[in-house]
Structures are given as structure tokens and as C-alpha cells.
Amino acid sequence: MKIKDTEIVIANGDITESSAEAIVNAANNKFYMGGGVAGTIKRKGGKEIEDEAVKQGPVKVGEAVITGAGKLKAKYVIHAATMEMDFVTDEEIIRKATYNTLLAAQKNKMTSLAFCALGCGTGGFPYEIASKVMAQEVFRYLKETKEPSLEKIEFVLYSDEAFEIFKKNVNEYLDHLQNKLYEGPFLTVDGIIAYEGGIVLIERTNPPLGWAFPGGFVDYGESVEDAVKREVKEETNLDFNDIKLFSVSSDPKRDIRFHTVSVIFTGKGKGNLIASSDAQNAKVYKLDALPEKIAFDHRAIIEDYIKKAKI
């Protein structure tokens, strides 16, 4: 597919054989190249790639540096620091590493770039989440950059499993954003559901991960009231009754992916609570015993909800 004038390609193969101007190495923050993709790049391209990278380290996780590509077909390797030497990574690190890699390519006016699945080898991060995070950051780069230098962005996956997951998730996600939501800011809804002495929160399947209000994007031709009832039903199996407008949240930085404006409703839940759709879990939380990781700005909204309930 194309976004602006940039072609997005998902390929099954060996990234070291890519003819892109730059290929991406999922690196540790000291840039030692041992196993996995890094080891293959070093073996095929030469130890000089590692030597040049190590001289630029260590860096903070999420940062990226550029080296030559030695004997490889590519001209450059962009080393994206997706973990420290403990080999632990997470969504936030992969998100930063993806975006900083794209910015490095843009700064150096590169025209083509090939990504591997960041954090999914030695880091053991799930392909399912990594594919969506990386797609989100590619979309953000293309949307926020006035004149992208990258004419082609590839995702080159070695295993059949990784290829199938990336093909499905990246294509579906970018197609959805481009064809339905591209202009932005994007309109969303959230429901604060009073149920069994607490409020209902869902554990998100899609990144950004964490606990959140049930909610989602408003479809074309749909009212915000119908949208919040639909999203609550899809994600919790509850009917959302007696709904009232609570607030509108519009800080451009409230959603790390892109600018979303959320219309937030309060109401009562009726029925049996069952997680489904984009929710991998759904629970009732007392207002004084909330989960540690809450997505978006939903913790601040809950605090506002508590204050107004006491008035």
C-alpha cells in the first residue's frame, strides 16, 4: 500500500539480503552483535559494522545510531537499541526505537528502509504486539513529517509465523487509518461504567497496553452516544444504560499514537461482564484500588470523576 508517496511492503525473507538503502538491526544499547539478526548482519557484513556501532554506544534504550553496512547490499545499518544487556524490552522501548529509526533515516535523507521485527528475537516480545506498535509509529512518522524522504518502508520477516502476523496486522492497521481516520484528530468515545460497586476497566489487547475504559473510534455516520454503547457492548458484553456526558478530553499528547479527542460518558452497566473484542480481560475496580498501569489519560479522568462524585 501507499501512504502519501511512501510504499509499505511486507516481505518474507532474510533482511541481510535486502537492497534497501538501510536495514535495521534490533540491537542492545551497547551494540555488541551476538546472536539473532545482529549476529547474521555481523557474519555477512563484517565485524567492522559492530566496531563502528560500539564506538557510538552505550545509548539509552529507544535510541538509534547509523553505521556503514560492510559487505551487505545495503549502504547503511541503523542500530535500534531495543534492550539493555539484560535483554528485556517492552512496548514503550520498541515504540521509541521504531520512531527514532525513522527519524534517523529522515535526517539522513534515506529513500528506503527495511525493518526486522524489533524486540521479538532475543527480547522475546510478541510479534502480535510489536507489529501493531511498529505500524503505529510508521503511520505517525508519515503523518507528522511534511515531506518524508522514505519512498519505501519494508518489514522483512525471516520466519513464516512472523511474516503472516506482520502481513495481517500492518496491512489492516495502516489501511484502517489511511482510509477511515487519516485526516484526524481522531474522534473516540470512552465509558465510565458503574457496575457492582466499582467501575469497569478493560485490559487492552492492542497497544498502547494497560487498563482503560471500554471505548474506541467513532464510525462514520455514527453518533457518539451510539458509539459508546456499541464499544461497551463489544468489549464487556454489558448494556450501557442511563448514559450522561461527563467530559471531553482533547490534549494532543493524551494518546501516544496520534491526536485523539475522546468524548467520555458515565452510566450504569447491566448484564454479565465478559471481555471480548479488543479487550483481553475485563474487571470491576473499586475507586480506591485501581490497577497500576492505566492507559492514555484515564487515571486523571478517574480522579476527576471521584472529585465530582463527592460534590
In this structure, what CATH number is given to the domain that contains residue 119? 3.40.220.10
Residue given cell 478493560 in the structure block: 202
Please indicate, yes or no, whether residues 89 and 102 belong to a single structural domain of this protein. yes
**What is residue 204's predicted lDDT score, i.e. its pLDDT?**
96
Q: Which residues pair with 240 in a beta bridge?
A: 269
* Contact residues for 48 (Cβ-Cβ < 8 A; gap 6+): 68, 70
Q: Are residues 114 and 67 in the same domain?
A: yes
CATH number of the domain where residue 239 is located: 3.90.79.10
Q: Same domain for 41 and 172?
A: yes
Which residue, among 13, 10, 29, has the nearest Cα to 82 in the 3D structure?
Answer: 29
- Please report the DSSP string for the chain in residue order: -EETTEEEEEEES-GGG--SSEEEEEEETT----SHHHHHHHHHH-HHHHHHHHTT----TT-EEEEE-TTSSSSEEEEEEEE-TT----HHHHHHHHHHHHHHHHHTT-SEEEE--TTSSTT---HHHHHHHHHHHHHHHHHH-SS---SEEEEEESSHHHHHHHHHHHHHHHHHIIIIISSSSEEEEEEEEEETTEEEEEEESSSSPSEE-SEEEPPTT--HHHHHHHHHHHHH--EEEEEEEEEEE--TTSSSSS-EEEEEEEEEEES-----TTEEEEEEE-TTS--S-B-TTHHHHHHHHHHHHH-
pLDDT of residue 179: 66
Structural domains of the chain, count? 2
* pLDDT attached to residue 176: 75
> Of 121, 148, 181, which one is at a domain's C-terminal end?
181
**Residue 168 and residue 273 in one domain:** no
Residues 159 and 228 in one domain: no
Cα distance between residue 233 and residue 267, in whole Å: 13
Tell me: do 52 and 73 sit in the same domain.
yes
Residues (pLDDT < 50) of the chain are none
Same domain? For 166 and 225 the reply is no
The whole-chain average pLDDT of the chain stands at 95
Does the reported pTM lie above 0.85?
Answer: no
- The reply to whether 162 and 306 lie within a common domain is no
Omega into 148 within 30° of 0, i.e. cis?
Answer: no
Same domain, 58 and 160: yes
Q: Which of 125, 152, 181 is the last residue of a domain?
A: 181
What per-residue confidence (pLDDT) applies to 183?
A: 60
Per-residue model confidence (pLDDT) at position 169: 93
Query: Which of the listed residues 132, 163, 181 is the one where a domain comes to its end?
Result: 181
Domain that holds residue 209: 186-310
Q: Looking at the structure, tell me whether residues 191 and 138 fall in a common domain.
A: no
Is the four-CA dihedral 278, 282, 288, 290 of positive or negative sign? negative
